[in-house]
């Protein structure tokens, strides 16, 4: 069998990453571009993060474009995906990364805290999956990667809304894998543990220390750790893997 380097497996692929202006999404976009993929990314608004990422991605030489697109809005997601297909020709990989937290104990959690989380974290995954499946079916291939979380399986006090949205993503991922496997469209989830980004910067040090004590690899995760898992699930190195949840947590949930 002819050996193909990992680098060449991603070259020329068209990748869409939602919510990529910062954090894990930003590093995913950069790593795919570094490996020769063409990158379409979305963000809620044009700001320094958005334009900075677009400029940096362009230095890798592939096709690149940022789209202002609220992932929680169904119509906007459909319209953006149509634009991306027009600009890039096809969509090979979708990474549903956009996500937010609205942490609170259930006693204090408002209906808005619940609805915002469901719309941005869970409905966005439905919106974008709907938006890409037709072009993927036409191409007879595709890989969809959904960003869940270890709290989606284990739960977390103060995050019942977030945990429910991330658990919902897992059920959705497995269902789509069953529905679209015959079309050669794979759908997997990644469950990151404690990854250092703006999202986790908000946490008090004692909470961080408690998480750290539970991690066998004795360090917090980096966005690169998560992006590496995306490279694998996007490429044909994982061509017989679908409907799975790949945990990237340094062993925290063993």
Contact window for ligand NAI (CB under 6 A) among 6-14, 83-91, 93-101, 171-179: 93-101
Sheet holding 93-96, edge to edge: 64-68, 38-43, 14-17, 93-96, 142-147, 185-192, 245-248
| Residues counted in the chain | 254
The answer to whether residue 62 forms part of the interface with ligand NAI (CB under 6 A) is: no
- Within 89-236, residue ranges assigned H as helices are 111-117, 124-139, 151-154, 160-180, 198-201, 205-213, 223-234
Per-residue x/- track, 114-153, ligand NAI (CB under 6 A) = ------x--------------------------x-x----
162 is catalytic: yes
The answer to whether residue 192 forms part of the interface with ligand NAI (CB under 6 A) is: yes
The answer to whether residue 44 forms part of the interface with ligand NAI (CB under 6 A) is: yes
Nearer to ligand NAI, 72 or 238 (CB): 72
Residue 34, H or E segment: helix 23-34
Active site residues: 162
Q: Catalog residues that contact ligand NAI under the rule CB under 6 A.
A: 18-19, 21-25, 42-44, 70-72, 97-100, 120, 147, 149, 192, 194-195, 197-200
């Amino acid at each position: 069998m002819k050996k193909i380097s990992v680098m060449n497996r991603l070259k020329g692929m068209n990748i869409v990453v939602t919510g990529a202006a910062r954090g894990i999404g930003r590093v995913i976009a950069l790593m795919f571009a570094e490996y020769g993929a063409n990158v379409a990314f979305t963000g809620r608004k044009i700001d320094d993060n958005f334009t900075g990422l677009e400029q940096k991605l362009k230095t890798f030489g592939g096709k690149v474009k940022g789209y202002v697109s609220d992932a929680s809005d169904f119509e906007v997601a459909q319209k953006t995906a149509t634009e991306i297909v027009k600009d890039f020709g096809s969509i090979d990989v979708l990474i549903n990364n956009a996500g937010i937290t609205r942490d609170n104990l259930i006693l204090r959690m408002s209906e808005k805290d619940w609805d915002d989380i469901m719309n941005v974290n869970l409905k966005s995954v439905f919106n974008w999956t709907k938006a890409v499946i037709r072009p993927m079916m036409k191409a007879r291939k595709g890989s969809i990667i959904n960003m869940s979380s270890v709290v989606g399986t284990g739960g977390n006090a103060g995050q019942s809304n977030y945990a429910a949205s991330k658990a919902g993503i897992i059920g959705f991922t497995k269902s789509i894998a069953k529905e679209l496997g015959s079309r050669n469209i794979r759908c997997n989830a990644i469950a990151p543990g404690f990854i250092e980004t703006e999202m986790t910067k908000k946490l008090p040090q004692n909470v961080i220390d408690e998480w750290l004590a539970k991690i066998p690899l004795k360090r917090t995760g980096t966005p690169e750790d998560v992006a590496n898992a995306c490279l694998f699930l996007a490429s044909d190195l994982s061509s017989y893997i679908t409907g799975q949840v790949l945990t990237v947590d340094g062993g925290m949930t063993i």
